[in-house]
Amino acid sequence: MYRLSSNHTLFWKIFLPVFYVTFFGMLVMASFLSDEGDLPMLTAPISRLILSSCYVLFVGLMWFTIIDLKRVEADENYYYVTNYFKTYRYHKDDVLEIKTMDLGIWKWNTMVMKEATRFGRRISFIGNPQVVKK
């Protein structure tokens, strides 16, 4: 069995959203819960607006992009797709195509299925650089 998705998928899917939501969310909460005398630059109305807007914008961006990432492995007959909690096996005949978009740092891949699966018709994953070189 060989891995089609990158090792960085775990970082992008689990660690980055958890740390961003936790720590940046605490900063936004601190800006609203602190007195103006304690943190004058952080509690100014324009600072609160900018912090809140950036927080909501990036959480929305993460929700629609990297939260959908899956880990994909393959063998001779099947693709194994996991979201790190459940793993499903799909026959290679069930896949219509695998689209690749080069983003410079990594390759964003989308596996298009013939029919809807547990993860939907489109399964997104970051390509493994060692597989791309072969």
pLDDT in tens, 99-133: 999 888 888 999 999 999 999 999 999 988 776 54
Backbone angles phi, psi at 133, to 5 degrees: -70, -25
pTM of the predicted model as reported, rounded to 2 decimal places: 0.78
- The one-letter amino acid code at 87 reads T
- The one-letter amino acid code at 3 reads R
Query: CA-CA distance, 30 to 2, in Å (whole number)?
Result: 46
Q: Which residues, 6+ apart, have CB-to-CB distance to 59 below 8 Å?
A: 20, 21
Q: Are 95 and 111 in contact (CB under 8 A)?
A: yes
Query: CA-CA distance, 4 to 71, in Å (whole number)?
Result: 8
